[in-house]
Structure 1
């Protein structure tokens, strides 16, 4: 098993922000959501692991506030881009 932990972090954050977003001009379709996820992941370095030990180690890395701030910034920027240029 090889997994990019960054995908889980980004998807969880996007899901949370998606539900909290009350901006009526922001489309909440699945295509726009996937665009936000893809744009965010392209801005962030991958964090792959291949074992349970690696998974735990990677989770510990994300306990650092700066790592989560970087993820939040990438997601916020991606949401701005998707809002201004919806592809559906």
Structure 2
């Protein structure tokens, strides 16, 4: 599945695909969200869960240039990203 096809899916379909075909890597806290990082094929995908509102706010491909990377790099090796 291409990135474009994945991005066109609803949040429910993205969630289902990650839970059935993806591999959970790590979870971090980021402001008001718990962010779960998954590996789907050769792409890392973040799931932003808002625990106060009990909902997933966003599912998106990992931006390797984002400052959030420092939280992941403390928990996984550079060779995995």
TM-score bracket, shorter-length normalisation:
under 0.3
Q: Which has the higher contact order (CA 8 A, sep 6+)?
A: 1
After TM superposition, the score normalised by the length of structure 1 is 0.25
After TM superposition, the score normalised by the length of structure 2 is 0.26
